[in-house]
Amino acid sequence: MKKIHLLFVVALLAGLSACEDPVPSDYLQQNGVEAILIVGEPIQEIRLMRSQDVKDTFSITAAFIKDADVKILTDSDTLQLLYRETEKGSEYWYPGKDTLYKVQPNTTYRLRIRLAGGGLITGTTTTPGQISYTRVIPDTLEYPKDTTNLTTDEKLRLSWTPLPGINEYILRVSALDTLEYGKYLNPPTEEKNRRIERFWEENAPKYDDITRWAYIPATNIPGSWNAFKWFGVQEVSVFAPDPNFTKWFKQIRFGGASPTYNALLGSVQGESAVGVFASASVTSDTTFVIKNQP
Amino acid sequence: MNRLITAYMLVCCAVFFLPSPGKSATLTMIPDPQGTASISGYVVDSTTKETLISATVSIKGTKLGAFTNKSGFYSVKSIPAGKQTVVISMVGYSRKEVTLTFGEKESKTITFSMQPQDMQTEGVVVEGDRDIEKREITISKVNIPIEQLSQLRIGGESDIFRSLQYLPGILTSSQISSGLYVRGGSPDQNLVLIDGSTVYNPSHLFGFISAFNTDAIKDVELIKGGFPAEYGGRLSSVLTLTQKDGNQNEFEGVASLGAISSRLSLEGPIGDGSWFIGGRRTYLDLIIGLLPDDPENPLPNFAFYDLNAKISQNLGSNDKIFISGFMSDDDLSLKGTGVEFNVGLGNRTGAARWTHIFSEDLFSVVNLSASRYKNGFDANNAGFEVEASNSILDYTLKANLEWFASDVLTVKGGTEINRFTFNYYQNFTGDRDSTSPTGSTGRGTTNLEINDWTYSLFAQGNYQFSDLVSMQAGLRGDYWKLSEIGTVDPRLALRYQWQPDVAFKAAWGIYHQYLRLASNPDFSFFDTWLPTDSTVQPSRASHYIFSVETMPFDGYDFNVDLYYKDLTNISELNRFSTNAANVTDVFFSGNGEAYGVEFFLQKKKGRLTGWLGYALGWVYSTFDSINGGARFRPKYDRLHDFKAVALYRLNDTWEIGASFSFQSGQSYTAMTSWYQTSLPGESTDAGLSVPGQRYGYRLPPSHQLNLNVNYNFTVFDLPARLLLDIYNVYSRRDIWFRYYDTTKERPTVTDVRLLPILPTVSFEVKF
């Protein structure tokens, strides 16, 4: 009888143990690649890093893989990238042969990374043509006094050249100076800049959060006052992305504040590789958002 | 496979031309014994004249008898001439015996009225009832009396779907979701019919509670698998709801004031028939309307309502006409400084049904219905406007003929024609005025309209080979015009009565589903139904079920079901698809399988009613585009699933009820590493976590206890009830979902938990 009881208890425990798993602590290292080529700009800010244990604080210095052999190939050339450290952090870049090389439009680039251990990571992108605004953004924009009923202003409207084969664009609005405001006025003042307060951003980080991104499936949009996080000087850019960049944007921005990597949205292959090798062309302009009140 | 279907069709043909046992076959196919009589008609409630579904009508001292069908109609043949006692019985009604004298070849048409009886009366199952039970071949069918369903309140609301979730083998995406995951199938694989009309989104509050008001429903039947050929178009289960016809004798009503919503239903006689209207609505919007506007701290405004209405008329003794409708709406809006959005969704169904008795053994139902589900949202982001909406509109004509050919053979056949219109509209250009013409898709705008027709035919026969063995065989054919796809679905069910109280059942069938639902299981605010197009095949399932059904004690049913379900071409929403041109752009396509065993002990009669259920089940999916093509278990998979429901009537004043569930933890995806990402021009952006095996781990088990207490009294001589419900008695806050918060320097495993203990009080009065 005791045996039967024991058997029952063991069976019950075995059954209940199938009801829950402890939080796992497995760490599987991946090789993260971030390589986005911008048409007309040098090849730079190519990042290659080891993913970190979820129990650890992320340190780009510790994570960066500095000893890889990184090349970008075109149909006619092989571009050997070099490692360097800048104010922005670690990166691979291409200094050029005689003059600084700039990414060409409508060109196919192939990424080839050979890790120190011999592993290979690859990716391919074809750069879009050059995008350009078809409507000039005014030098100044006066933020509405009535913040309750914010209505759009035709001055905010953006339009750009449609590029063949591209239906999805990406908008970036960045505050260029979160500190100074009055010095850009005429006549200049001592007034400091400040963030635009919004009820849904009460908990947002204040001073390092300067950029708003938006997915735009059109080439002509009315714009929104909510695009600006700060008053003052702004850079408004529209990216014409290749399909890899569009997917990566969805990866980062459609997955909530804490996105999870989705292999279908990545564009690199090979040795434990996650990440992106993509390209875009970009058009940018600046404007100044005047405060509605001090 | 083709050989299997061919063999099966031969079996079907054989069934339709089988002679009665012990009789020689003749050209009249099913000869009645010479000189026998027959009786047919309806069984109704004596106080309201409401037709009763699944009542038994038997001839005492014989094995003759029948169940009433969904229209309350019965037909018993082969009755020996002379004086016979007809016994009519049903749970919740006093058993009735009527002695009649039958002449040779006489056909009697009689409507029997039954007196309602307290459920607490312990019923005595008589041999006649058991003989009728033997005709019940449909497997995995669950009938829970509506009185029990309405008493099983969760959070102060009696909710049919939430009650059905307390059956073994029915899983949920969470404790606050009303979606039914039946034996590993997703909610879109369930056919939900109300008075014959399909309901496409049977939920309120974006999936938290069901859209059906229990006051308006008189019968709920769920077939968890192996359903017969008369039902098609879905892979997993069939839920059939029948609305109340209304009281044909006198005007009456019920009013209820609850924590979440209030209800009112009225019914009464009209002409030679009845009417019923019932509705409920929330009042959060009314309360918020009384508060001053504060655009800097706006409150979301939410409201839902639903309305059921029905008119029934008897046109002589052989014809009845029913006109019924159901509508539901949910609206959520928020208006604050510089931002505004509105979300709305709703169902509309309308049905006209005509039942006609051609003769004592030939019964027909013709149903013409329209059902529309529509949802949409619009938002204004400081002048940047976006808008999206979609709808499915379905006009259906169904005509069924039921032939009670003999005491051992019933044949049912019918046709169904559907005209579907799917609309999908989206405008993400920022200008609501910027639209694209119907049928086009352009930069940022999509305006699609798809029209389609489906044609279906089915035939099924129930044949009793002997007192011990009976069979149901059916065949269903469907043709979809848009994709030019035709399918043939054979269905077969067998019953073997091993002992008087023990029956073995087995069922096999093939099922096809043409519609696909794009939905978020946790928060279904923009569900979109899409047809199968030329880029993908219809979803397909095969069911294999073996069941042991027993009555261990009087008043108790104990069933054990073993099932295996094989699924192909099932869908999983591609959440990142923004430029979809066809179905394969919207969904990933894959395969799945589900298998398990269910134990279900039910007591329907007596002071104590309720059930105990346990299910042990496995669900797996395989999609080329998900989890690297490796097999994974879906999020809603739970290995163990234990449910207990008890309702006890202490006396005429007090009733108590309790429901308890214990389930294995929901599956989730654990992360194996992470890194900081950035977009051009940024130093760092999101922390991106890298997942391991999809849904490879389980959260802690879910369990919950709910209590209900009813106090019955009178107010101004009107019967009234005070209802106290305690949701989550011991405040077990289950985890809704777990995620890795990577917004900080070091990721933290974050659990979002469900509601704590929640007591509610509601009041109900009848007049």
Sequence ranges of chain B with CATH classification 2.40.170.20 = 242-766
Structure tokens at A15: 């059954």
- CA–CA gap between residue B527 and residue B391 (Å, rounded): 9
Cβ–Cβ below 8 Å for B579 and A168: yes
Identify the closest residue of chain A to B751 by CA–CA distance: A23
Least confident of A48-57, B55-64, B152-161, B499-508: B152-161
CA distance A3 to chain B (A): 25
Give the rounded percent of residues in chain B with a pLDDT score beyond 70: 90
Give the side-chain half-sphere CA count within 13 A for B310: 29
For residue A17, the model assigns a pLDDT of: 62
Structure letter (DSSP) for residue B521: T
For residue B13, the model assigns a pLDDT of: 47
For residue B130, the model assigns a pLDDT of: 58
For residue A118, the model assigns a pLDDT of: 93
Backbone angles phi, psi at B525, to 5 degrees: -100, -10
CB-based contact (8 Å) between A211 and chain B?
yes
Higher pLDDT among residues B311 and B154, named by residue: B311
Residue B64 has pLDDT above 90, yes or no: no
| Count of A-B CB contacts under 8 Å | 223
Cβ–Cβ below 8 Å for A53 and B673: yes
Judge contact between B488 and B476, C-beta under 8 A: yes
pLDDT interval class at B530 (50, 70, 90): confident
Structure letter (DSSP) for residue B628: G
CB-based contact (8 Å) between A196 and chain B?
no
B-chain residues within 8 Å CB-CB of A222? 383-385, 430-431
pLDDT interval class at B689 (50, 70, 90): very high
A-chain residues within 8 Å CB-CB of B691? 260-261
- Taking every pair of C-alpha atoms in chain B, what is the biggest distance, in angstroms? 96
Q: Write out pLDDT tens, residues B190-236.
A: 999 988 889 888 888 766 778 888 888 989 999 999 999 999 999 99
Backbone angles phi, psi at A206, to 5 degrees: -90, -50
A-chain residues within 8 Å CB-CB of B745? 57-58
CB-based contact (8 Å) between A204 and chain B?
no
Structure letter (DSSP) for residue A133: B
- CA–CA gap between residue B17 and residue B368 (Å, rounded): 31
Q: Write out pLDDT tens, residues B377-412.
A: 999 988 888 999 999 999 999 999 999 988 889 999
Identify the closest residue of chain B to A264 by CA–CA distance: B625
- CA–CA gap between residue B255 and residue B675 (Å, rounded): 58
Higher pLDDT among residues A120 and A55, named by residue: A120
Q: How far is CA A60 from CA A49, A84, A86, A266, B685, in A?
A: 7, 13, 13, 20, 13
Work out the burial of residue B324: count CB atoms within 10 Å of its CB; fewer than 13 is exposed, 13-18 middle, 19 or more buried.
buried
Residues 153-192 of B with CB under 8 A from A: none
* Full-model pTM: 0.88
Residues 307-336 of B with CB under 8 A from A: 336
A-chain residues within 8 Å CB-CB of B742? 258-259
Residue B10 has pLDDT above 50, yes or no: no
Work out the burial of residue B6: count CB atoms within 10 Å of its CB; fewer than 13 is exposed, 13-18 middle, 19 or more buried.
exposed
Nearest to B673 among A28, A211, A249 (CB): A28
Residues 593-632 of B with CB under 8 A from A: 625, 628
Domain locations along chain A: 31-129+245-281, 140-242+283-290
Least confident of A166-180, B17-31, B604-618, B697-711: B17-31
Q: Write out pLDDT tens, residues B652-671.
A: 899 999 999 999 998 999 99
Cβ–Cβ below 8 Å for B381 and A224: yes
CB-based contact (8 Å) between A8 and chain B?
no
Q: Which of A242-251, B54-63, B463-472, B740-749 has the highest mean pLDDT?
A: A242-251
For residue A146, the model assigns a pLDDT of: 81
Structure tokens at A170: 């990406």
Residues 252-311 of B with CB under 8 A from A: 295-298
- CA–CA gap between residue B168 and residue B597 (Å, rounded): 9
Nearest to A89 among B381, B431, B683 (CB): B683
Least confident of A130-139, B65-74, B173-182, B586-595: B173-182
Q: Which of A19-23, B125-129, B253-257 has the highest mean pLDDT?
A: B253-257
Least confident of A261-270, B463-472, B560-569: B463-472
Topology of the domain comprising B242-766: Maltoporin; Chain A (2.40.170)
Give the rounded percent of residues in chain A with a pLDDT score beyond 70: 92
Average pLDDT, chain B: 87
CA distance A60 to chain B (A): 8
B-chain residues within 8 Å CB-CB of A60? 676, 684
Least confident of A21-35, A109-123, B25-39, B477-491: B25-39
CB-based contact (8 Å) between A96 and chain B?
no
B-chain residues within 8 Å CB-CB of A247? 576
- CA–CA gap between residue A97 and residue A95 (Å, rounded): 7
CB-based contact (8 Å) between A159 and chain B?
no
**Most A-contacting residue of B339, B682, B735, B741 (CB-CB within 10 A), to test interface:** B682
For residue A168, the model assigns a pLDDT of: 92
Residue B23 has pLDDT above 60, yes or no: no
A-chain residues within 8 Å CB-CB of B588? none
Judge contact between B192 and B239, C-beta under 8 A: yes
- CA–CA gap between residue A270 and residue A119 (Å, rounded): 7
Residues 222-261 of A with CB under 8 A from B: 222-227, 237, 239, 247, 249-255, 257-261
Cβ–Cβ below 8 Å for B688 and A259: yes
For residue A131, the model assigns a pLDDT of: 96
- CA–CA gap between residue B597 and residue B564 (Å, rounded): 9
pLDDT interval class at A294 (50, 70, 90): low
Residue B447 has pLDDT above 50, yes or no: yes
- What is the rounded average pLDDT of the residues B705-710? 93
Residue A89 has pLDDT above 90, yes or no: no
Q: Write out pLDDT tens, residues B287-341.
A: 888 888 787 788 888 899 999 999 999 998 899 999 999 999 999 999 888 888 9
**Most A-contacting residue of B584, B688, B697, B740 (CB-CB within 10 A), to test interface:** B688
Q: Write out pLDDT tens, residues B559-595.
A: 999 999 999 999 888 888 777 777 788 889 999 999 9
CB-based contact (8 Å) between A32 and chain B?
yes
Strands B528-531, B515-518: parallel, antiparallel or unpaired by DSSP? antiparallel
Q: What residue type is assigned to position B287 of the chain? A: I
Identify the closest residue of chain B to A87 by CA–CA distance: B683
**B35-133 belongs to which CATH class?**
mainly beta
Structure letter (DSSP) for residue A8: H
Q: Write out pLDDT tens, residues B592-610.
A: 999 999 999 999 888 899 9
Residue B147 has pLDDT above 60, yes or no: yes
pLDDT interval class at B24 (50, 70, 90): very low
Residue A186 has pLDDT above 80, yes or no: yes
Higher pLDDT among residues B262 and B20, named by residue: B262
Judge contact between B599 and B613, C-beta under 8 A: yes
Could you give the ipTM of this predicted complex?
Answer: 0.90
Q: Write out pLDDT tens, residues A219-228.
A: 888 888 999 9
A287: closest CA among A237, A213, A226?
A237
Q: How far is CA B109 from CA A154, B41, B245, B632, in A?
A: 77, 5, 21, 57
CB-based contact (8 Å) between A199 and chain B?
yes
Residue B685 has pLDDT above 80, yes or no: no
Question: What's the angle, vertex CA B171, arms to CA B168 and CA B175, rounded to 5?
Answer: 115
Residue B2 has pLDDT above 70, yes or no: no
CB-based contact (8 Å) between B350 and chain A?
no
